[in-house]
Amino acid sequence: MERLIEILQEINDGVDYETCTTLIDERYLDSLAIISLVAAIEEEFDVQIPTVEIVPENFNSAKALWNLIERLQEEG
C-alpha cells in the first residue's frame, strides 16, 4: 500500500491519503488524474483494471483502491 500512496501523491500531493475517503466525491481526483492513476496502477502492480471497476466506490480512498488491486491480483 505504501507504493500506492506514493503514486497518489505524485498525482496530487495535497491530500492525506491515509485518512481521506472522499477522493472522488470531493474532487481530489478528477478524470485526468484517474486516467493517470489507472495507468500507473496497471504498470506498477501488473493488473488490468476493467472499465466496469472504475467507479467512485473503488477510487474514493487509498484503502478502496488497495482492495481493488489485491482483488485483481488474486483473480490474475
**Residue 20 burial (CB count, 10 A):** 16
pLDDT tens column, 11-70: 999 999 999 999 999 999 999 999 999 999 999 999 999 999 999 999 999 999 999 999
- Cell (9 digits) for 24: 472522488
Domain definitions of the chain by residue range:
2-75
Name 36's Cβ contacts closer than 8 Å, sequence gap at least 6.
11
- Confidence at residue 11, expressed as pLDDT on a 0 to 100 scale: 95
Name 38's Cβ contacts closer than 8 Å, sequence gap at least 6.
49, 54
CATH superfamily of 2-75: ACP-like (1.10.1200.10)
In which band, very low, low, confident or very high, does the pLDDT at 76 lie, cut at 50, 70 and 90?
A: confident
- Confidence at residue 51, expressed as pLDDT on a 0 to 100 scale: 96
| Angstrom distance (rounded) from CA 49 to CA 59 | 12
